[in-house]
Amino acid sequence: MQDRREIQPARGPIVASVRPPGSKSITNRALVCAALADGESRLSGALASDDTRVMIESLNRLGIEVREEDRGRVLVVQGAGGRIPAIEADLFVGNSGTTIRFLTAMLTLGNGAFRIDGVPRMQERPIGDLADALNALGSIVRCESAGNCPPVTVHANGLAGGEAVVKGNISSQYLSALLMTAPAAAGPIHLQIDGQLVSKPYVTMTQHVMQSFGVAISIDGDMQAFTIEPARYQPCEYAIEPDASAASYFWAAAAITGGRVTVEGLSNNSLQGDVQFVRCLEAMGCRVEWGDDQITVEGASLHGVEVDMNAISDTAQTLAAVALFAEGPTRITGIAHNRHKETDRIADLATELRRVGAGVEIFDDGLEITPGKLTAAEIDTYDDHRMAMSLALVGLKQPGIFIKDPGCTGKTYPDFFADLDSLTGN
């Protein structure tokens, strides 16, 4: 595997049409709902990546068969009807936050002893709030590492139901994990959110995926309370959208090079909130065209903006790369929870932006980027796929940009660099 990759500058404005691979977030949600359904489901347009691979491998180890077709882009899932067939399992999930959080909740439906672990960084990513909520609902979930971090052990005997409080400021994935598991509990579940919920579009996504598998939830007070009655997931054929977070890199490429890029398969009605990233580019001066099944960004003279990216925090690094080519500073706020992702996506992002010549001020929930004279640099990626993909964009205009550990993009987008090369004509 390459230890670094040089990014070749684009030969001119990028003009292209592209369809990114399937959404990781939707793929892993659909896998959970299909696994809990009564019968066989077929998921088309799925993402084949490290994060989905560890989910599939874990489900198979739990006795829930997932068969891959068309190089992993079609997944056939034999649902277990709200049960966990295995009575014990030791699962390894790499650095997949969705997988460990969704499975921790799902395993409480079983009857046996289970343990989930991951890479060293996973053992620094908190999951205690999810464990506390599950324990309040009748489970026995324990975190083995300091700071209430994985490995996680689950001593399962079904999920009783009841009431629990979920903190909203760390990750919406805790809530999504509980929502998807709750219909298979013995009794109704009522969830109350403590504080402001981050990344609300991902909870809406969870709701829509659950509805596609025949389960509805009740929501009160602008996502501050949720009620889920016992229900049975129904198997279905489910089509997965292209990944909107991945699409952000191509829209950003249009902005940086003054080109025009169309992303197919996404629209203003997409399940993924990250399609709204294009509105940030529009605020910076780009032109955006919304179609029924595509979104186009056309680059123009860029100027800095101030934007709250709480709802679309996975695209904050992408906007930071674009900010290097704008006139004036760009201030990104509302992303304090990004410190708990694959890496500290505020402090470590600031380090790499400074490395290429930007001025950066960081604060609790974001950072301000002041463009400077760009320089060649080797970019550390911190085993973070989004750090690699977003800062590769700098190399579209600035020669001498090297991305270390480019293989880390396999987490969500194994073919990213090949697709980027095809767009740039290199």
Q: How far apart are the first and last CA of the chain?
A: 20
Q: Which of 20, 8, 18, 35 minimizes the C-alpha distance to 261?
A: 18
Q: Which helix (H) or strand (E) holds 53?
A: helix 50-61
Q: Which of 163, 65, 58, 42 minimizes the C-alpha distance to 104?
A: 58
The token duo for 315 is 């695209």
Q: Which residues contact 246 (CB under 8 A, 6 or more apart)?
A: 20, 21, 389, 412, 413, 416
Residues designated as active site: 314
> From CA 282, how far away is CA 255, in angstroms rounded?
9
Q: Which residues contact 303 (CB under 8 A, 6 or more apart)?
A: 284, 285, 326, 327, 328
> From CA 137, how far away is CA 166, in angstroms rounded?
12
> From CA 58, how far away is CA 51, in angstroms rounded?
11
Contact by Cβ (8 Å): 334, 308: yes
Judged by DSSP in three states, 398 sits in coil
* Rg, C-alpha atoms of the chain: 21
The DSSP string of 197-266 is PS-HHHHHHHHHHHHHTT---EEETTTTEEEE--------EEEPPBPHHHHHHHHHHHHHHT-EEEEET-
Contact by Cβ (8 Å): 24, 48: no
Q: Which residues contact 222 (CB under 8 A, 6 or more apart)?
A: none
Q: Which residues contact 46 (CB under 8 A, 6 or more apart)?
A: 22, 27, 30, 52, 72, 73, 74, 75, 240
Neighbour tally for 272: CB within 10 Å: 23
